[in-house]
Structure 1
């Protein structure tokens, strides 16, 4: 799952809490932090874009898993052989960062902000 800004936490907020609002600063108006986190109505706000990603647990683990034998209809188990990644996060971070970079570059090219 991928979340931008408040993401699913917005479900627990009132509209008045979810609205980020602005405050004055020496550099001009700034968004209240922790609310929009870089995106307002699907548009970048020039603030850091905060993205939260949730990875599901790995499905192939080095222990027998319950299943059903399709030929007999009886309970059975299956063991997955080979290499297992018990923790996906170290690889996931690199994949998500690379994909986010590609998507943002593609949008910048399509929007005419970058030229090939």
Structure 2
């Protein structure tokens, strides 16, 4: 309840200024485009974290939550060749600034709980 009252007390429509993460491209756009094309093939169109098949814009059965979304492996790092992976869009939203391993641990807990509930 404390978090709810805190949220209500601090959410009154005011403008809030915040510091955003510094995100830079540490290669040329052409290099990144080529890398992303290769990366999609390497990942075989599957989310790097969940293994779920990702969707592309214009696909017949396109689910917007499953769209391909570039994600920084180290969320505090920059967009560089070794720090980018493709994930489903919902995974990128859920992961936010979490470490890949910690996020995977949390997903495992969700799955274990769902399985336990069905047994």
Bigger strand fraction: 1
Q: Relative contact order (C-alpha < 8 Å, sep 6+): which is higher?
A: 2
Bigger helix fraction: 2
- Pairwise same-fold verdict (TM > 0.5): no
Q: How high is the TM-score relative to the length of structure 2?
A: 0.22
Larger radius of gyration: 1
